[in-house]
Amino acid sequence: MTLERTTRLSELVQACRARDDAAWLEFQGCFARIAGRVLERFPNLTRLEREEAQDNARVNVALEIDGGRVKATTDAAVVSFIKTVVSNAARDVWRRRRPNDPLPPLLRDEGPSPAERAKFRMQLECAEQVIGAWNPDDRLIFAMKLEQVPSATIKAELERLFRLFITVEAVDVRYFRLRARVREQCGAGDE
């Protein structure tokens, strides 16, 4: 397979998975540019540590591609995957070199933990199922209130779309009941 400079990164990953040597060479250049930009954000690491992190990340990314475990279908998803692997490699290098030192703020992952992400994903899937089982007028009320549409506007839309005539106060009451139902059934807001 002959690759041009305009080859999309996601296509490049597919070619690498097919063991195309030219694709691997081009991918290494792309990887180095992305990794270099990511590692610039970690001034707490020495130059040698950044190189070690980049090498470790390159091996991990190559193993994932070769094993067919990179499911990214867009260039943005591939770049995000590479950035995550490089950032994790930088953290690993810091921990290996300084096991007793806390991670500096620039190396910390301030996002939710994997367990928190899994819990949130389960709650979101539950909410989608619960909301999907509602009648259309309840879904409209809930969605529009989430978008902070005024109750008077929602009332007018209910009349126009469903010939449902209720008061503005009833719109608010229904929304709060629907929200309570989602929270009760999906455990959202249990903190």
Residue 19 falls in which region: left (phi positive, over 0), alpha (psi -120 to 50) or beta: left
Number of H helices, E strands in the chain: 8, 0
Q: What amino acid occupies position 83? A: K
**What digits encode the pLDDT tens for the residues 70-108?**
888 889 889 999 999 999 999 899 889 888 888 777 677
Percent of the chain having pLDDT more than 90?
Answer: 67
**What digits encode the pLDDT tens for the residues 144-156?**
999 999 999 999 9
Q: Position of tokens 């995000």?
A: 80
Residues 102 and 144 in one domain: no
Residues 14 and 81 in one domain: yes
Residue 179 pLDDT > 90 = yes
Q: Are 112 and 120 in contact (CB under 8 A)?
A: yes
Averaged pLDDT, 47-54? 95
Q: Which pair of tokens denotes residue 65?
A: 């591609």
pLDDT at 63: 94
Range picked from 8-12, 75-79, 168-172 for highest mean pLDDT:
168-172
Residues 130 and 152 in one domain: yes
Q: Give the largest Cα separation in the chain, rounded.
A: 70
pLDDT at 95: 87
Averaged pLDDT, 117-140? 92
Q: Is residue 100 part of a domain?
A: yes
